[in-house]
Every structure is written in C-alpha cells, then in structure tokens.
Structure 1
Amino acid sequence: MSKSKSIAVGFALGSVVTAAATLLSTPKAGKEVRKDLKVNMDKVKSTFTTIKRDGIQLKEKMKIAKKQKREALQETAASTLDTIEEDGSLETK
C-alpha cells in the first residue's frame, strides 16, 4: 500500500474511532449530537475532496516535471556530443 493511501486510511480510521468515542461519552442530547456529526462530516468530506484534488494536481505536475527533465537530459546529451564531435575528440565510424 502506498504511503499516501496508508495516511488516508489511518486518518479515516482515526476519525471513525474518535467519532465512536465521542458518541459514547457525550453529555449532549441526541439532536445536538446528530447536528454536530453532520457539520463535522461535511468538514471531513470537504477536507478529503481538497486532499484528493491537490493530489491529482501534484501528480500532473510531477508528470510534467519528469517530461521536462527527460527533455533537458536529451538536449544536454545531444549538445555534449556535438561539442565533442566539433573538437575532434570523438571519432565517427
């Protein structure tokens, strides 16, 4: 399992355990607890949506950076070979 999935699973599991502990030990009335849960679940959903969106954007940026790196390495290699050929240090057959 990837590190990001492990973090997400841990976060979700921690949220569920915390919610259960809160429900069992709360001095509030049922209506108040349900209202608080709804508000908190909306916050959790929003947070997960944000994390997912940011993760997708990061993945795309990493793809672009990888492509740019590959192109830069190819250009550098080609330039180095051209320089060596011009200097006569590399014999062509």
Structure 2
Amino acid sequence: MSNNKSLMYGLLVGGLVGSMATLLSAPSSGRDLRGQIRFNRQRLEETVNQLKSEGVSLKDQVVQTAKESAGVIKEVSADLQNSIKQWQMEIEPHKNDLQKEIEEIELKIKQLEQALEEK
C-alpha cells in the first residue's frame, strides 16, 4: 500500500514540477497556458483515478488468492497427515521385527563377549 502512496505522491510532485517548469518557460499566451494547465490537470486526475481503481482491483485479487490458498493448504495438510498415519501403520510390523532382531544381535554380542572373556 505504501508503494501506491509513493507512486501517487511522485505523480503529484512530478505534475507540479512540470506545471511550474511550463509556467516559467512557456512561450504561449496566458490563456493558452491556462488551457494547457487545465488539460494536463484533467489528464493527471484521470491517471490518478485509474491508478486508484487498479490498486483496488489488485487488492481484491490478492485477498481472493489468499483465501483460495488457505483452502488448498488445509487440504494438502490433511492429505499429508493421512499419508503419514498410513505410513506409520505400514511400518509398525517391520519396526517390531527390527527391534527383535536388534535385541537378538545384542544378546549374541554379549554371549560372544562372555565367551571371549572365559578364554
């Protein structure tokens, strides 16, 4: 939002500086100059109104995209949680088997250590 304000301030200051430069270096009469100033002011107002309208439209698009993204993120999160639960259930039997094998290996290592100590 501050970028839009900066842009609007820049356009306004640029318009004023341009107007002043035109006044100081104008080779035309006062009446022509006033007509040009009115025309340039109208163009500046149109530009500012168009920028304002486009800014509102952009804000609405960002809000809509954020709402849609929130829904998608919730769906993906739910799917991911289900996948993790399913994976945990699938590996549980293998996990138990691996724990049993590790316990057996540890027991055999202890038996080997005892046998080596006895020799």
RMSD between aligned alpha carbons? 1.8
How far residue 39 of structure 1 moved from its aligned partner, in angstroms, is 1.1
Q: 2:56 maps to what in 1?
A: 56
Q: 1:23 maps to what in 2?
A: 23
- The structure that has the greater radius of gyration is 2
Is residue 2:5 matched to residue 1:2? no
Report 1 or 2 for greater relative contact order, CA contacts < 8 Å, sequence distance ≥ 6.
Answer: 2
Higher helix share: 2
1:50-77 Cα deviation digits (max 9, x unpaired): 1000000000000011111111111000
Aligned length: 90
Query: 2:4–2:55: 8 Å Cα contact kept in structure 1?
Result: no
Aligned pairs for 1:8-87 within 5 A: 8-87=8-87
- Alpha-carbon separation, structure 1, partners of 2:41 and 2:15: 10
How far residue 22 of structure 1 moved from its aligned partner, in angstroms, is 0.6
Between 24-33 and 2-11, the greater mean CA deviation after superposition: 2-11
Q: What is the aligned-residue identity percentage?
A: 29
How far residue 30 of structure 1 moved from its aligned partner, in angstroms, is 0.8
- Alpha-carbon separation, structure 2, partners of 1:81 and 1:12: 53
- TM-score for both structures, normalised by structure 1: 0.87
Query: 2:23–2:33: 8 Å Cα contact kept in structure 1?
Result: yes
| Structure 1, gaps ≥5 residues long | none
Runs of 4+ in 1 over 3 A off after TM superposition: none
How far residue 11 of structure 1 moved from its aligned partner, in angstroms, is 1.6
